[in-house]
Chains A and B, each alone.
Chain A
């Protein structure tokens, strides 16, 4: 069956360090993969979209990689700040085309 796994439920890092979050999938062949940020009690907010023919994509302090051979995407936040503390979700298209989400990784950045 199709699965999306975000390896860590929670990740704690020190301010200024790079946070690396992992998203693995099985039994999918996604053409696109997306990352979202969600703060408590609020809806997810889109961050980045990466296509299968793109190895890497950057936006300010954010970087996403997409390895279709390993079936994995990595999401990096460089020079992390306490304001980056949130839950980060990866998403890709399910068999019917709708977005399927991983359960998320809760990132805590300590000052």
Chain B
């Protein structure tokens, strides 16, 4: 069974630009969650998509957005990049995605550096 695939692995962008990150979940998983990880804040929840609908959203500004396609693949977009957006962005897929009842499978992450 293929794991969660995130592309690209590394990205360098300039302040003010926008970026799109991609996540392909494990086959059969309908829930995809996105997290931002920084040394100071740890893993912070961005949003969760389930069957193409955003089901939950964390406390991030509207510059952070996402979507999910009918094949469960998900993208997240960050517009007007700021230096503080530099982080490891992680995608996790799971069967249900709710209530911690099932394990989450994480991708390798996309390391975004904003200069």
Contacts and interface: CB of A to CB of B under 8 A. Distances in A.
State whether these chains interact: yes
Interface of A: 30-34, 41-46, 49, 89, 91-94, 96-104
Contacts, number: 70
A102 B41 CA distance: 10
Given A43-B106, A97-B56, A98-B33, A31 B99 contact: yes
Interface residues of B, number: 28
Given A97-B56, A98-B56, A99-B33, A34 B103 contact: yes
Contacts of B97: 97-98
B61 interface: no
A97 B102 CA distance: 12
B35 to A, nearest CB: 8
A33 to B, nearest CB: 7
Given A43-B109, A97-B56, A98-B33, A103 B100 contact: no
Contacts of B100: 30-34, 49, 91-93, 99
Nearest to A43: B106
Nearest to A49: B103
Contacts of B109: 41-43
Nearest to B44: A101
B90 A43 contact: yes
